[in-house]
Structure 1
Amino acid sequence: MRHYDAARRKRAGKRHEETAAVAIAIGVAFAAAPFAHADDPWIAEAISDSTGQIRFTAGGSSQSDAIQTVMSACRKTISDCRLLASGQGGCVAIAMNAANTKYYGGWGPTRDDAEAAALATAKGGTVQKDHTHCSGDPTS
């Protein structure tokens, strides 16, 4: 019986260690990334594929408000605007795909996260560093 009890205690200890490791990993993941707050303004970025002109807006009261604002600003002089990315607070970024044929957008709570999201959407390629904008940046 002693061997059985020792083996059972060892398995129970292993389960507790695994549970603790999972809990710690989840805690670290949530602590590492800042969250958008409900009162953060919405941001959006749009592009004209024919001209390459980019528009960014910040301060939207909702996602639809930010999208409408950026699309209206883009369409004042250009007709082929399309939305690249939007989100509450944080940043938006642009990446050109590896074939250099199309721009893709991404949103994230930080510049690095937004650029990583844009690269993932583009399935590789290159981040357009001068076109990463964050909440609080001047609009264009």
Structure 2
Amino acid sequence: MDQPQYQSYWQSIFEWNSIFMFVPMMLGIVGISLLIAHLILKRKKRPSKPYLVLIVAGYLLYFGVPSAFQGLMLLFMFTTIPTVQTMDVIFSIIYVPIVGFSFTIIGILLIVKPPSVRALYRKYFD
């Protein structure tokens, strides 16, 4: 199938695979789901902070673990294939594992660190 021809760059940024379309759409979906969860918890008169922290940690892990796994695969690829060990290849694809590992670490810290989340965990799983 032929690629569409655009008259200008501004016409091409509104494609579905463009970062200018994908990132705001995902941020909107995440923001709306957090707002809905907050409103439901407010209506049930429950504290929303520990639940929202768990939801945010879940989103961070959902987006971070696949990128971190891809980073581990890239590390394996860098060590085994000698033609990929050039610095321009490494620097051009190294941002994916960095984002993945940072999302994963922040998500794990949000689950483990706050005492309100630990109390919520003990309430339902102990």
The answer to whether TM tops 0.5 is: no
Per the normalisation by structure 2, the TM-score is 0.30
**Structure of greater Rg:** 1
Q: Which structure has greater helix proportion?
A: 2
Between Structure 1 and Structure 2, the one with more strand by share is 1
Give TM-score, length-normalised by structure 1: 0.28
